[in-house]
Chain A
Amino acid sequence: DAGVIQSPRHEVTEMGQEVTLRCKPISGHDYLFWYRQTMMRGLELLIYFNNNVPIDDSGMPEDRFSAKMPNASFSTLKIQPSEPRDSAVYFCASRGTADTSDTQYFGPGTRLTVL
């Protein structure tokens, strides 16, 4: 399996622009998670889905952030408008209920820089 795939790997944009991050989970996994990592706040869970349905979005910082999962093989995290404080590494992870080890598998991350 190719693992969790994220794109782009790096994104540089200007304040006010819309940013869309993409994730393809491991085939067969029914949980998908979006995390943000910064030096100041560490690793934060933003939102997670089960069977394409958002279960907990309490970590989404504000209305500028939105996430969708239109099907089992694709999810997006959108920031509109972006701000410099959104600069971080954004990780996507997936997990399968059939995997009794409860392990989450992480993608390589998208490094976002908002100027």
Chain B
Amino acid sequence: GNSVTQMEGPVTLSEEAFLTINCTYTATGYPSLFWYVQYPGEGLQLLLKATKADDKGSNKGFEATYRKETTSFHLEKGSVQVSDSAVYFCALTLGPGGTSYGKLTFGQGTILTVHP
């Protein structure tokens, strides 16, 4: 089956610190990979994505590279801000032709708190 495993949180950092949130996956096929972010009291929103091996997704200073050899999609940011405090979800979806087409498989989420 398909699954996503994220590093356990919560993660607490000081402003301007470097952030890494690990994500690994298992999938039957070649998935597209996503990071979603959930700010307090809101729904999830797409942060970045990558659709094939070695693609790098980036947005708002966050980056993640699709590593097929290690089945990973780690999220990084060089300098976090207080406004980055949120829950981050790694997710995958498979392409057309399979029974799971259209579904997102989520990791358990990682809570990030950034202090001034």
Contacts and interface: CB of A to CB of B under 8 A. Distances in A.
B43 A109 contact: yes
Given A42-B106, A42-B109, A43-B89, A106 B43 contact: yes
Contacts of A42: 106, 108-109
Interface stretch (A13-21, A61-69, A76-84, A97-105): A97-105
B43 A31 contact: no
A43 B106 contact: yes
Nearest to B94: A102
Contacts of B24: none
Nearest to B104: A104
Given A42-B108, A42-B109, A102-B32, A48 B45 contact: no
Contact of A103 (B42, B46, B89, B106): B46
A101 B106 CA distance: 17
A114 interface: no
B103 A56 contact: yes
A91 B44 contact: yes
A115 interface: no
* Interface bin, chain B: 10 to 19
Q: Counting chain A CB atoms within 10 Å of each CB, which of B34, B44, B46, B51 scores highest?
A: B44
Name the residue among A31, A43, A101, A105 with the largest chain B CB count within 10 angstroms: A43
Interface string B32-44: 1010100000111
Contacts of B49: 101-103
A69 to B, nearest CB: 14
Given A106-B44, A108-B42, A48 B103 contact: yes
Nearest to A91: B43
Nearest to A43: B106
Interface of B: 32, 34, 36, 42-46, 49, 51, 89, 93, 99, 102-104, 106, 108-109
Interface of A: 4, 31, 33, 42-43, 45, 48, 50, 55-56, 91, 93, 95, 101-109
